[in-house]
Amino acid sequence: MKRIGIICKLSRKEPQDILKELLPWLRQKGCEVFVDMETAAQMNIDGYERADIPSLVDAILVLGGDGTMLGVVRLVADKGTPVLGINLGSLGFLTEVNVEDMYSSVEQMLSGGCAVEERMMLKACINRAGSHIWEYVVLNDVVINKGALARIIDLETSIDNTYITTFKADGLIISTPTGSTAYSLSAGGPILYPTLGSIVLTPICSHTLTNRPIVLPDHVAMEIRLKSVSEDVFLTLDGQVGCALKTDDIIEIRKAQYKARLLVPRDKEYFDVLRTKLKWGER
């Protein structure tokens, strides 16, 4: 890998400080580097539009937290560009590499020593009054939830054209295995190994206590119709993008046609991440 893109968390000085040493180090390795426009402008160097970088490079380094990583993964998914995350945030489920391990991990990436881990993504579509009005692809989750002052909402749910139930709840979380350790976990959902081919459906504060999270195969197609008369219900994607829903809107959710490709250094194990981030074994 000789053409490396770098996309950084905005409004943070730390990535710029790191790049002052990382950029000359990469160039000494014979790499051509493509830094995102916003970061480059703050460093007075040439930069590239974020949307253009995936088509120009062999791999992308993300300097930021899981939120930055999610945005980059959505940006590159249809290009198949592999991504390595350097954690400058607080949690770091996706950006697994700590700053102190950055150079050894990037060295592995350049030499082809990193494993490429493929993660399934979801595609969410909104149909309103018979028209297809919105479509988006996510790595973590699709969330339907009510506003703070709204009443419990009714969500009529079908899987592969078979009616399942009408959830009376604060909302629903539909997550990938990667997203199982995000909002779904907080709502009582299970942890799934991230490379599994499964989808998790997790109710949020269900009015019926027997409505529990369910794990589904990744080939199913899900339809959720908002039955409540409310103007305070939202669809949120990866916790970053969203829109307001209207009564009788239908949200279609299914596996996306392409996968995220995450670079994993040889010394990184998923259970090490779980043990560290979730503090397993501590009292």
Residue pointed to by tokens 């980059």: 72
Quote the strand ranges of 45-193, DSSP E. Answer: 59-64, 83-87, 97-98, 115-119, 122-128, 131-138, 141-146, 153-159, 162-169, 171-175
Q: Is the dihedral of CA 266, 272, 79, 69 positive or negative?
A: negative
In this predicted structure, the answer to whether residue 253 has a pLDDT above a threshold of 80 is: yes
Mean pLDDT in residue range 11-25: 90
Domain 3-119+259-277 homologous superfamily, CATH: Probable inorganic polyphosphate/atp-NAD kinase; domain 1 (3.40.50.10330)
CATH 2.60.200.30 segments of the chain: 122-255
CATH 3.40.50.10330 segments of the chain: 3-119+259-277
Q: Distance between CA 226 and CA 216 in Å, rounded?
A: 21
Q: Distance between CA 85 and CA 239 in Å, rounded?
A: 18
Q: Distance between CA 178 and CA 117 in Å, rounded?
A: 11
Q: Which residues are identified as catalytic?
A: 66
| The Cα angle at residue 103 between residues 102 and 106, in degrees rounded to 5 | 85
What phi, psi does 248 have (nearest 5°)? 75, 5
Class of the CATH-defined domain 122-255:
mainly beta
**Contacts with 282 (C-beta within 8 Å, 6 or more apart), sequence order:** none
Residue pointed to by tokens 């829109």: 243
| DSSP letter assigned to residue 177 | T
- What pLDDT does residue 91 have? 66
Mean pLDDT in residue range 22-42: 94
Mean pLDDT in residue range 49-69: 94
pLDDT band for 148, please (50, 70, 90 cuts).
Answer: confident
